[in-house]
Structure 1
Amino acid sequence: MGGHTDLGTQLALGTASRPVTDFRERVRALVGDRISPLLPACERERRFPREAVTAFGAAGLFHERWSGGPHGDLGRSVLLSEEMGRAGLGGIGIGVGLHLEAATSLLRGFGTTAYTKEVLEQALAGESVCCVATSEQHVGSDLSAVATALTREGDHWRVRGEKWFVSPGAAADHAIVLCRGDQGPALVLVPRSGLTPVQRWETTGMRSLETVRLRVDARVTDDAVLARPGAGLAAVGQGLMYERLALAAQVLGALDLASVLAITHLKRRKQFGSPLYRHQALRLRMADLCSQILVARRGLYATVVEVSAGGAASVSDTAALKVTVARLGERVTSECAHIFGGRGYVEDQTPLARLWRDFKVGRLGGGSDEMMWELVAAGFRPDHGLYENWIAT
């Protein structure tokens, strides 16, 4: 590889520009050769394959994604996520994304000690799997209410509590744990020796993500504290922004897979003596779905281009993207499965049933629909002059 080209700004030139095409082809080849063959066994065994993280890291793709300015290269983030979605990787893709976008962004943004920088390098090289542990039994969206305790014990810190819905928790070498100190929530890097998976959740979808309930009991030094007590929630917000963008990109990649399969089926499958495509209701339904996918992708690319060019990373914009794309994903996969008739409901006939159940978690992970809409609403800015010009008072 030559000098690094920022693909976030290259997206503005179109998805067929040479740097974008070259990077996409590299990712697609790696996914096809090394990652996709892992999926069937991992889905059956409900296991996240750490070898997926190893493969991406060894190929240098993680380092390339985080090269550059404060956001790294968001274009490479989007292309990586899209290709994992287009390959139908489901839980494996989401797990890689959580490692790369949520956990690694926090290490890169807040890891100032030799220890945290060493773990960051291991994460980028694919030598260490990292996750973020925030939710608890009685804490979902309200992260300010976490009960996992951070207490001082001599010259160490003690982190003790239990985290729910940690992905990919059982495979993690390190977890970034949101806990409560005397001044409020903090973020602490906890090694595997302080992490005990106590339950693997039998999730409806994303079975290869290996989501677990995780007991945390660790003694760590000052150099493991990423965000001091009181600063933890603000730090988590940064990781969530990258997670939401990557989730939207991965869903859109998977929707390419679903829609192309459905369109091809319309052209090939004959009923009543003619291809399904000849039935107006079906082809117009697909035209509507594909139009919505196109608009959503353009919105994602425009956001990435703006941020890559130095614009502000708006919390409300990324929340809007995430919730809109996640809801679109459920609807599109349901309709595409419907076009296949009975075969669309049989998991060993098409991937559509699996994609459909996988996408439900997109409306929860990274923040529920309602939380995303609250963030969008928080960004509303009234224009009183405009109102008074048009509305009688």
Structure 2
Amino acid sequence: MADETTLREELRQRVADFLAAHDPAGTERLAFLRARYDAGLAWVFFPEGHGGLGLPRTLQAEVDQLFKEAGAPDIDRESNGIGLGMAAPTILRFGTEEQKKRFLRPLWTGEEVWCQLFSEPGAGSDLAAVATRAVREGDSWVVNGQKVWTSNAHNAKFAILVARTNPDVPKHQGITYFLCPMTDPGVDVRPLRQITGEAEFNEVFLTDVRIPDSQRLGAEGEGWKVANATLNSERVAIGGSVARESGMVGVVSRTWREHPDRRTPELHERLLRLWVDAEVARITGQRLRQKLALGQPGPEGAAAKLTFARLAQQLSGLELELLGEDGLRYSDWTEVRPVRVDFTGRDAGYRYLRAKGNSIEGGTSEILRNIIAERVLGLPAEPRVDKDIPWKELRK
């Protein structure tokens, strides 16, 4: 393969040629995005034929910047974050060629929004305890169960789903991973109102939902392996900031600069410590993303997500202290079902309340510490007395 400098020059020329043939100002948005995907300029680090060119991941940022400078339409990363950050890399790694061709293009263009049907009322931190059942009937699977804390389920056309397909084996072995149509008449999505006032999450009831076997991702019984790859991608996606002073540290830094009358030596020291922590986390996240193989993140993403949650909560708390009584005002507690979620959006009160969920979603901080200890640091695992007990015995 050519060196990266040569690849970069060739890629810049490819983008220039594409823009010459597809005027951003005169091409309809969806048509432009579809053409960009077909040209391999969507995910340049994905294989050819699936939105990419098989190039190093480090070149993606430059491609995105070239399209931005040209004023080209872009994908909506916030409204389809689960699809782009979790479903896509998992489909790329475990999907068949037919599945990749069917799902990746409309996922990237935003024509099909995705959600995640993993957590259940009795299987949150312990994902392997999922009780939702999938029973094989001919060329389809019939799914029954309940999922909870599902972001964007009210807008999604598809979901990544884990269900129990074999109750007679240890719980980690009896799970299978599916690509579930959210338009099936057996899918019932109900809002869950949060402490912020929004109904950003949902509970989803699945009643005799039929999923074609062609939408099973990975082998039957290997859902735990596939789900872990998805969760690693999720933690990297949640935990990463690209620009310096982006995210909560940027918000709090601006608040500090705009309110000199609220400053104290103690608050100054806390802000400096958190700013340094945020910068270390940002640079570490950049290094982690550079190490990612195609769709194959490692358990190190747990550290990025764990750090993100801690910083978001500490920084949002510091912002309230800086604002004093102004930080106690809450602008709007109307129940809405948002299309996208901005962790730094709205006012300080919203940010403070929303940050409380950061240590739960994407894996609780307690579970992530176990992952870091066992899979990253190589410390002895906690004893698991149930590892060889069939799931149906555990359920008694």
TM-score (norm 2): 0.68
Match of 1:304 among 266, 272, 289: 289
Match of 1:323 among 303, 306, 311: 306
Tell me which amino acid in the other structure corresponds to 1:140. Answer: G
8 A contact 1:177–1:189 mirrored in 2: yes
Distance apart, 1:197 and its partner CA: 3.0
Match of 2:131 among 147, 153, 156: 147
SS in 2 for 1:131: strand
- State the alpha-carbon separation in 1 of the partners of residues 31 and 250 from structure 2: 23
SS in 1 for 2:331: coil
Match of 1:288 among 255, 268, 273: 273
1:249 corresponds to which residue?
Answer: 240
1:184 aligns with 2:174: yes
Distance apart, 1:325 and its partner CA: 1.9
1:23-80 Cα shifts (integer Å, max 9, x gaps): xxxxxxxxxxxxxxxxxxxxxxxxxxxxxxx899679699856331589847859x99
Alignment of 1:1-393 (within 5 A): 66-69=43-46, 73=57, 96-115=80-99, 117-182=101-166, 184-194=174-184, 196-205=187-196, 207=198, 209-249=200-240, 253-267=246-260, 270=261, 276-277=262-263, 279-307=264-292, 313-315=297-299, 317-348=300-331, 351-379=347-375, 380-381=377-378
Highest RCO, 1 vs 2 (Cα 8 Å, sep ≥ 6): 1
Distance apart, 1:358 and its partner CA: 1.4
Tell me which amino acid in the other structure corresponds to 1:361. Answer: G
- State the alpha-carbon separation in 2 of the partners of residues 60 and 207 from structure 1: 35
Length, aligned pairs only: 315
Distance apart, 1:335 and its partner CA: 0.3
Unmatched segments (≥5 aa) in structure 1: 11-18, 20-53, 81-91, 271-275, 383-393
User: Judging changes above 3 Å, is the alpha-carbon distance between structure 1 residues 178 and 348 closer, same or farther for their aligned structure 2 residues?
Assistant: same
8 A contact 2:236–2:304 mirrored in 1: yes
User: Judging changes above 3 Å, is the alpha-carbon distance between structure 1 residues 76 and 345 closer, same or farther for their aligned structure 2 residues?
Assistant: farther
8 A contact 1:99–1:130 mirrored in 2: yes
Tell me which amino acid in the other structure corresponds to 2:254. Answer: L
8 A contact 1:245–1:318 mirrored in 2: yes
- State the alpha-carbon separation in 2 of the partners of residues 311 and 148 from structure 1: 27
- State the alpha-carbon separation in 2 of the partners of residues 348 and 59 from structure 1: 42
8 A contact 1:265–1:340 mirrored in 2: no
- State the alpha-carbon separation in 1 of the partners of residues 289 and 241 from structure 2: 14
Q: Among the aligned pairs, what percent are the same residue?
A: 25
Distance apart, 1:171 and its partner CA: 0.9
2:340 corresponds to which residue?
Answer: none
Tell me which amino acid in the other structure corresponds to 2:216. Answer: V
Distance apart, 1:234 and its partner CA: 0.8
- State the alpha-carbon separation in 1 of the partners of residues 304 and 291 from structure 2: 14
2:20 corresponds to which residue?
Answer: none
SS in 1 for 2:175: strand
User: Judging changes above 3 Å, is the alpha-carbon distance between structure 1 residues 343 and 173 closer, same or farther for their aligned structure 2 residues?
Assistant: same
Distance apart, 1:111 and its partner CA: 2.2
Distance apart, 1:160 and its partner CA: 2.0
After superposing the two structures, state which structure 1 stretch, 210-219 or 129-138, moved more.
Answer: 210-219
- State the alpha-carbon separation in 2 of the partners of residues 164 and 68 from structure 1: 33
8 A contact 1:94–1:209 mirrored in 2: no
- State the alpha-carbon separation in 1 of the partners of residues 295 and 93 from structure 2: 18
Distance apart, 1:312 and its partner CA: 8.1
TM-score (norm 1): 0.69
- State the alpha-carbon separation in 2 of the partners of residues 190 and 228 from structure 1: 16
Q: C-alpha root-mean-square deviation of aligned residues, in Å?
A: 3.8
1:113-154 Cα shifts (integer Å, max 9, x gaps): 525531221111110011120111211122222111121212
2:21 corresponds to which residue?
Answer: none
8 A contact 1:170–1:212 mirrored in 2: no
- State the alpha-carbon separation in 2 of the partners of residues 117 and 307 from structure 1: 23
SS in 1 for 2:80: helix
8 A contact 1:170–1:197 mirrored in 2: no
After superposing the two structures, state which structure 1 stretch, 342-351 or 155-164, moved more.
Answer: 342-351
Distance apart, 1:224 and its partner CA: 0.8
Tell me which amino acid in the other structure corresponds to 1:340. Answer: L
- State the alpha-carbon separation in 1 of the partners of residues 236 and 59 from structure 2: 11
User: Judging changes above 3 Å, is the alpha-carbon distance between structure 1 residues 321 and 295 closer, same or farther for their aligned structure 2 residues?
Assistant: same
User: Judging changes above 3 Å, is the alpha-carbon distance between structure 1 residues 99 and 307 closer, same or farther for their aligned structure 2 residues?
Assistant: closer
Unmatched segments (≥5 aa) in structure 2: 13-29, 48-53, 65-75, 167-172, 333-345, 380-396
1:150-207 Cα shifts (integer Å, max 9, x gaps): 2121232212222111111111101121011136101111212325234211122493
User: Judging changes above 3 Å, is the alpha-carbon distance between structure 1 residues 370 and 257 closer, same or farther for their aligned structure 2 residues?
Assistant: same
1:70-126 Cα shifts (integer Å, max 9, x gaps): 89847859x99xxxxxxxxxxx97653222111222222222152553122111111
8 A contact 2:133–2:143 mirrored in 1: yes
Distance apart, 1:240 and its partner CA: 1.1
8 A contact 1:110–1:227 mirrored in 2: yes
SS in 2 for 1:228: coil
